Amino acid sequence: MGRRGSTDKQWARAEFGAAELGDKRRTARLVGLAQQLSARPEMSLPQALGHTGTLKAAYRFFDNADIAHERVLAPHVLSSIGRMRDQPVVLAVQDTSYLDYGTHPGTHGMGPVSQEGGHGMIMHSTLAVTPARLPLGVLSLRLWARDAAKPKRRKTHRPRQSKERESYKWIESARAVALLKEHLPGTRVVSVADRESDVFEFFTEAQKLGVDVLLRAAYDRNVDGESTKVFATLASAPVLAHKYLALPATPKRKARTAKLEIRGCSLVLHSPRNGSARALPSLALWGIWACEPQAPAGSEPLDWKLLTTVPVNSAADALERLQWYATRWSIEQWHKVLKDGCRIEMRQLQSAERLMRLITVYAVIAWRIFHATLLARLVPQMSCTAILQQEEWEALYCRIHNTPIPMATAPPLRQSVRWIARLGGFLGRSGDGEPGSKTLWRGFQQLIAMTEMYRIMKPHMPAAPRMQKEVGND
């Protein structure tokens, strides 16, 4: 499939080239658009595509009702399966994000995004990540708008069918994961989700499909045993381990390290007494309670009550499940890249249907940068040829070192990524840590222009010497 991270057209062909859109010319157009938009992801379509003919072709592509956004994503899912095959465990992290198009009230097909109203759509996505948090690809992407004409509250207490409820998105993600199983016989894929996913039908459907689940409990459901409730049962469960956990900064808290007490036990979860799940059978699960008995003053204690279908028989099991759940932050980081880097909430295509196709393309572009960022941190000594073609790393070396002669062999991945980040404004001081997606994205844009010029000038450049001085960290 070619190098999946390349900044040239090769990466776009690897992720989109197998799209079945009813016409080979449409697939070629998709590959070309992905390449061009990734070069200038923060710009508007006219700025990114420039040429009038190319821009008109893009508008025709996104306006084509025969192109479902699911088909646009399908070839990337196939590529993601290839990245997943060598992994013993893959975490299919799912989450919901709300896309606000309030600044574009004329966009058709939008709906309210909150109880207060608004104008936009909802995106529920599933991102495949390793336990070490390397993002392997986007597995599913559901986009829809609420019906503004429907009342916010139902006048009847009659339970709706599952497919009519927004909570059905969790079941759809589990089904998308189940479709991967036949391609990944040696990989355990676990669906990971937050409190909103605590829907009894989600558990039962996942069990029916043979999909493992790990989620944060939202409801104190009935269980077998003396305590009769989930939360009380977990509170009386034995302490299995203690753990220090680094908590990233969020809008509501500063970054800090939490000391956790971890309890765990098996559970038999009863179905609800009312609603559409009331007649479903009880479920045998495992519960984990990770709490912070002594949180710093002014900080909200960490309190995770987790439910999972994956057995928890030891301290090592409990710690591993906790690590798995912590990877949920990855999808929030990817959403941030998609919103802030690709600026998808600023796009103007007049209708929700057109935007769905465009957002799907940008979702893969956002994954690509996020993947390169994490790969450099996790496998720093890997050759940079994992994400760059030869002319790209040669151009990068020449620009950073202000020389017309590239080094003889490809530099390590981490070093190359830090150089790319320098192009995007990363200073690389001792206290700066590793570069983030934003500076890396800016650097990739600079690298694309440099590589184009390098290719023009290369025939006139002197050849690289056979022996080259070892490159340092700068």
Are 194 and 306 in a shared domain? yes
Q: Which of 39-53, 99-113, 311-325 has the highest mean pLDDT?
A: 311-325
The model's confidence at residue 147, banded by pLDDT at 50, 70 and 90, is: confident
CATH code of 438's domain: 1.10.740.10
Are 328 and 426 in a shared domain? no
Q: Which of 428, 338, 327, 382 is nearest to 91 (CA)?
A: 327
Are 339 and 417 in a shared domain? no
Are 302 and 437 in a shared domain? no
State how many domains the chain has.
2
Range of the structural domain that residue 447 is part of = 380-460
Are 342 and 453 in a shared domain? no
Are 281 and 416 in a shared domain? no
Are 328 and 396 in a shared domain? no
Give CA–CA dist 82/312, Å, rounded: 29
Are 120 and 207 in a shared domain? yes
Are 328 and 386 in a shared domain? no
Q: What is the pLDDT, as a whole number, of residue 382?
A: 79
Q: Which of 374, 290, 303 is nearest to 337 (CA)?
A: 374
Are 166 and 247 in a shared domain? yes
pTM for the structure as a whole: 0.82
The model's confidence at residue 460, banded by pLDDT at 50, 70 and 90, is: low
- Between 13-17, 87-91, 106-110, 439-443, the lowest mean confidence (pLDDT) is in 439-443
Are 267 and 340 in a shared domain? yes
Residue pair 302/290 in contact (Cβ under 8 Å)? The answer is yes
Are 342 and 193 in a shared domain? yes
For the chain, the average pLDDT equals 85
**pLDDT of 142 over the 70 cut:** yes
- Of residues 116 and 304, which shows the higher confidence score? 304
Q: What is the pLDDT, as a whole number, of residue 160?
A: 46
Kindly state whether residue 9 falls inside one of the protein's structural domains.
no
Kindly state whether residue 111 falls inside one of the protein's structural domains.
yes
Q: What is the pLDDT, as a whole number, of residue 450?
A: 83
Kindly state whether residue 374 falls inside one of the protein's structural domains.
no
Give CA–CA dist 369/242, Å, rounded: 35
* DSSP type of residue 135: E
Q: Which of 157-161, 305-309, 468-472 has the highest mean pLDDT?
A: 305-309
Q: What is the pLDDT, as a whole number, of residue 163?
A: 54
Share of the chain above pLDDT 70, in %: 91
CATH code of 112's domain: 3.90.350.10
Q: Which of 391, 341, 396 is nearest to 364 (CA)?
A: 341
Residue range 370-383: mean pLDDT, rounded: 82
pLDDT tens digits, 169-183: 999 999 999 999 889
Last-in-domain residue among 332, 347, 362: 347
